[in-house]
Amino acid sequence: MPTAASYVDQTIEDPEGTMQQVRVHIGESPLLWLYARGHLTERLYLAGERLREDWERAGLGARVTMAWDTAPPSRGHRGAAVAATPGHAQIAAKDHFHAAMDRAGPGLKDILWRVVCAGEGLGAAEKALGWPTRAAKLVLTFALEHVADYYRVR
Q: Is the pLDDT of residue 118 over 80?
A: yes
Domain membership of residue 121 (yes or no) is yes
Which is more confident, 113 or 83? 113
Domain membership of residue 116 (yes or no) is yes
Domain membership of residue 24 (yes or no) is no
Q: Where are the alpha helices (DSSP H) in 37-134?
A: 42-57, 88-104, 109-112, 122-129
Domain membership of residue 1 (yes or no) is no
Domain that holds residue 121: 29-60+89-154
Q: Is the pLDDT of residue 22 over 70?
A: no
Domain membership of residue 146 (yes or no) is yes
The arithmetic mean of pLDDT across residues 74-80, rounded, is: 55
Domain membership of residue 69 (yes or no) is no
Tell me what the pLDDT averaged over the chain comes to. 82
Number of domains in the chain: 1
